[in-house]
Structure 1
Amino acid sequence: MTAPAPTRRSGRWVEHWDPEDEAFWKERGERTARRNLLLSVLCEHIGFSVWTLWSVLVLFMGPEYGLDPADKFLLTSVVTLVGAVVRVPYTFAVAVFGGRNWTIVSAALLLVPTVAAFVVMRPGTSFPVFLLVGLLAGVGGGNFASSMTNINAFFPLRKKGWALGVNAGGGNIGVPVIQLVCLAIIGAGGGPRVLLGVYIPLIVVAAVLAARFMDNLATVRNDTGAAKDAARDAHTWIMAFLYIGTFGSFIGYSFAFGQVLTSQFGRTPLQAAYVTFVGPLLGSLVRPVGGWLADRYGGARITLWNYVGMAAATAALIVAGSQKSVALFVPVFVVLFVLSGLGNGSTYKMIPGIFQAKALARGLTGEEAVGHGRRLSGAAMGLIGAVGALGGVGINLAFRQSFLSYGTGTGAFVAFLAFYGACCAVTWAVYLRRPAGRAEAAPTADTDPRLGYAEV
């Protein structure tokens, strides 16, 4: 039995929190939850910007820096890798330190990579130093995991989809925003230190606002048992594989788009910056649409057809690369970004539905089924988010190897096409070919025969 939450006398701790109670929600719950959501989006947004900082800094790094395309892709791979790994501890930090407290800490930590980049960003700095500073920027990737965990606790079940969609989309938009700021600075003749100088005070403001207006929920507690149970469930790792294809593509292409344009198509940093922000921007904005479509038609169906579209777009990119047609390459790459955003929404929407379906298949009903599904899906989201982000590492390493071997990114796109084909096969085989209960030894008497993963 879980011990009652101890009373805390310091900081902004909320001892009683029951968003499922309509009266409580209307009286003060909704107002408090929305305030925390707004500030969570701000801090996560800046976290994404810092995480993808090096995707734009490399555009400033001309021949005088002594780095070839392979070096730059390795640099962005290191940043992505750290951002993926730190998502696991960040997921559980909310329950250890409190949502408000950890938001302050995680926001303030963004100063470390930003100030470090400000110091070293000049010709003559060695590549190992750039790698070390890039590694520090990876902490920005963890903010997503802690932010989603924190906001998930504030909202009732009937509003979680909307709240998590807004939180995730608002954070993802940090990617195109920093690219737009980069475009403005390059267009004005400014250098990389100007870009960094813009973000340092923004980080301070975000941390101060979080300290002043956010809240900790005393009712949130670590449930290591849930994490272990989620890790043992095959669906956690199946969904992590699918999320590699969607979010991994989104973050990986966000880092790589500008470099491919400059390295393969000979575009200048300014020319690249004019278009690189469009894909991440649209991909962020459509993420809630993917969740809405999943609500209406079933997440597995939307995810399957989304992967079919991603495969078709990738095939078109292979053609564009072989014909050296930037006029075809850019719009198709933007379409691929949009599809990755839709897939982010549909795959993430599947997670709670899958565990709810498994609870019903076990014969659980009502609040017991809801509680069981919520417990496992919450723990699984952290693991799935971390593994999914590793897809960005794979994309940048694939581009690095492709440019080393062939001098273009076409080889990498061939590998991505094969991967999307595998995602189509897995989605169909696991979630559409057979109804729920497939993973169980035998359906129980209480299992709903109409229940199917296709509906999640």
Structure 2
Amino acid sequence: MTAPSTVPARNRGGRWIEEWDPEDETFWNETGAKVARRNLLLSVLSEHIGFSVWTLWSVMVLFMGPEYGLTPADKFLLTSMVTLVGALVRVPYTFAVAVFGGRNWTIVSACLLLVPTVAAFVVMEPGTSFSTFLLVGLLAGIGGGNFASSMTNINAFFPLRRKGWALGLNAGGGNIGVPVIQLVALAIIGAGGGPRVLIGVYIPLVLVAAVLAAVFMDNIASVRNDTGAAKDAARDAHTWIMAFLYIGTFGSFIGYGFAFGQVLQNEFGRTPLQAAYVTFVGPLLGSLIRPVGGRLADRYGGARITLWNFVAMAGATGAVVAASVQRSLPLFTVAFIALFVLTGLGNGSTYKMIPGIFRAKAVARGLRGEEAASYGRRLSGASMGLIGAVGALGGVGINLALRQSFLTYGSGTGAFVAFLAFYGLCFAVTWAVYLRGPAPRTRTVAAAEAKPRLDYAEV
């Protein structure tokens, strides 16, 4: 058969691909894979810088000493609000892909990152009021939105059999912006540079990402103008179930990424540089292993990997609680880094589940081939923004819980006990919804009626 053309058609002043069928292996092998990988690479770059800008204040607060007049509670509140904005903007960012096109919105979203970086560069000095820092920190939250639009865009480029790897790589490359900005901060401030130097490094990088997206990325016409998919996704219970599970994985990753250094400072008396030497390790490993979680989910099923990952997360959190009680810095550090690694694995496996769930629903409705694939892409792409937004709210909860725990008990132990209980609940939900087999009578009735049965064990 003849593969559909992949030459971007001129339309509304941008690069548009009018025909795109990644499930067709001939099309994929001849032309689709090359186009998809190019867009994936540039999507990773833009999302990476977005994550760095979003988590900028998790680094800045470590170096804001007494001369800035901020209490530990102020700093936890600041990082909580930055996380909150990053979660909320993910919803409109997801819709923006359908309205403007993935390539076009990547350009716009990259340029928008200039607002928080320039603002932070202007106000970063002692004597600035807490309310000003809070306002500028809120602006940095827009960096969190890049994840949602990037994942929605890349989801449309890849076939179902490769989504776990592609989405894991896309998200992992973005997530790694968290440890990278911590490493850059460590190098700059360790060499005697100030916070403004760190901010100044990222301003030209934002411009580079925008230019590369404009020159080399593409829009997929079939994704355009389908904002109704968001309404359909919002009405589907699985969108909200997966959002709940994503609170446990990504919410933990981003929440711990913002809070790790502050916990080391407040509970174990580490200096800013001592904390910075450690804080980047967990997010770095958690980011690098995210594609592995997607790959494992491709092979063994996302639901199975997610289920046992929550077991491991509960175990690591138990070790963190023990270390917090005993004031054991070595145990705390090792257990916390292990927890970061597990959040990365879970991030990959949960996001692989999303397209599989909606593809399974399409098959159960009697759809086949490209019709089923199109249905799955449509709803999974729309649901990803909602899931990403709710999941990121977990980061808000983690920082607020740690803030309250330090105010009440003088340590983070109380918050970590609550996190342990939550991971147990996530395990129960994953098993009950996606892995518990139907009762024997249900299987008999289904066979008798000869209707497809929803089976999520392999998603």
Give the direction of change, closer, same or farther, for the CA distance of 1:446–1:348 in structure 2 (3 Å limit). farther
How many matched pairs? Answer: 450
Match of 1:121 in 2: 124
How far does the alpha carbon of each residue in 1:309-339 deviate from its partner, in whole angstroms, 9 at most, with x for none?
1111111111111111101100100000001
Give the direction of change, closer, same or farther, for the CA distance of 1:373–1:12 in structure 2 (3 Å limit). closer
| Cα deviation, residue 257, structure 1 | 0.4
Secondary structure of 1:255 counterpart: helix
Match of 2:408 in 1: 405
**Is 1:418 aligned to residue 421 of structure 2?**
yes
Check the 8 A contact 2:106/2:210 in 1, yes or no: yes
How far does the alpha carbon of each residue in 1:89-133 deviate from its partner, in whole angstroms, 9 at most, with x for none?
100111211222211110011111011111111111111101100
Check the 8 A contact 1:297/1:455 in 2, yes or no: yes
Match of 2:315 in 1: 312
| Cα deviation, residue 76, structure 1 | 0.4
Match of 1:368 in 2: 371
**Is 1:49 aligned to residue 57 of structure 2?**
no
Match of 2:141 in 1: 138
Check the 8 A contact 1:60/1:269 in 2, yes or no: yes
**Is 1:66 aligned to residue 66 of structure 2?**
no
Give the alignment of 1:56-455 within 5 angstroms. Answer: 56-435=59-438, 443=446, 445-448=449-452, 452-455=455-458
| Cα deviation, residue 7, structure 1 | 6.2
| Cα deviation, residue 218, structure 1 | 2.7
Match of 2:5 in 1: none
Structure 2 distance, partners of 1:225, 1:100, is: 20
Secondary structure of 2:222 counterpart: coil
**Is 1:40 aligned to residue 50 of structure 2?**
no
Check the 8 A contact 2:153/2:381 in 1, yes or no: no
How far does the alpha carbon of each residue in 1:140-172 deviate from its partner, in whole angstroms, 9 at most, with x for none?
000011111112222333333322222111111
| Cα deviation, residue 24, structure 1 | 4.1
Q: 5+ residue gaps in structure 2?
A: 1-7
Q: Which one-letter code corresponds to 2:11 in the other structure?
A: R
Check the 8 A contact 1:360/1:447 in 2, yes or no: no
Structure 2 distance, partners of 1:443, 1:104, is: 49
Q: Which one-letter code corresponds to 2:451 in the other structure?
A: T
| Cα deviation, residue 302, structure 1 | 1.5
Structure 1 distance, partners of 2:14, 2:389, is: 30
Give the direction of change, closer, same or farther, for the CA distance of 1:74–1:9 in structure 2 (3 Å limit). closer
Check the 8 A contact 2:248/2:391 in 1, yes or no: yes
State the identity as a percent.
82
Q: Which one-letter code corresponds to 1:54 in the other structure?
A: W
Structure 2 distance, partners of 1:437, 1:172, is: 43
Give the direction of change, closer, same or farther, for the CA distance of 1:67–1:253 in structure 2 (3 Å limit). same
Q: Which one-letter code corresponds to 2:227 in the other structure?
A: T
Give the direction of change, closer, same or farther, for the CA distance of 1:12–1:262 in structure 2 (3 Å limit). same
Check the 8 A contact 1:92/1:222 in 2, yes or no: no
Check the 8 A contact 1:107/1:206 in 2, yes or no: yes
Give the direction of change, closer, same or farther, for the CA distance of 1:125–1:436 in structure 2 (3 Å limit). farther
* Range with bigger deviation, 229-238 or 191-200: 229-238
Q: 5+ residue gaps in structure 1?
A: none
Give the direction of change, closer, same or farther, for the CA distance of 1:154–1:297 in structure 2 (3 Å limit). closer
How far does the alpha carbon of each residue in 1:6-43 deviate from its partner, in whole angstroms, 9 at most, with x for none?
96262333334343444544444333222221111111
- Deviating beyond 6 angstroms after TM superposition, the runs of 4 or more aligned structure 1 residues are 436-440
Check the 8 A contact 2:23/2:370 in 1, yes or no: no
Secondary structure of 1:281 counterpart: helix
Check the 8 A contact 1:437/1:443 in 2, yes or no: no
How far does the alpha carbon of each residue in 1:262-309 deviate from its partner, in whole angstroms, 9 at most, with x for none?
111100111111110110011011111112222222222221111111
TM-score by structure 2 length?
A: 0.93
Structure 1 distance, partners of 2:441, 2:50, is: 40
Q: Which one-letter code corresponds to 1:126 in the other structure?
A: S
Check the 8 A contact 1:435/1:454 in 2, yes or no: no
Check the 8 A contact 1:362/1:446 in 2, yes or no: no
TM-score by structure 1 length?
A: 0.93
Secondary structure of 1:261 counterpart: helix
Q: Report the aligned-residue RMSD.
A: 2.3
Structure 1 distance, partners of 2:24, 2:297, is: 27
Structure 1 distance, partners of 2:10, 2:201, is: 40
Structure 2 distance, partners of 1:358, 1:20, is: 17
Q: Which one-letter code corresponds to 1:337 in the other structure?
A: F
Check the 8 A contact 1:42/1:171 in 2, yes or no: yes
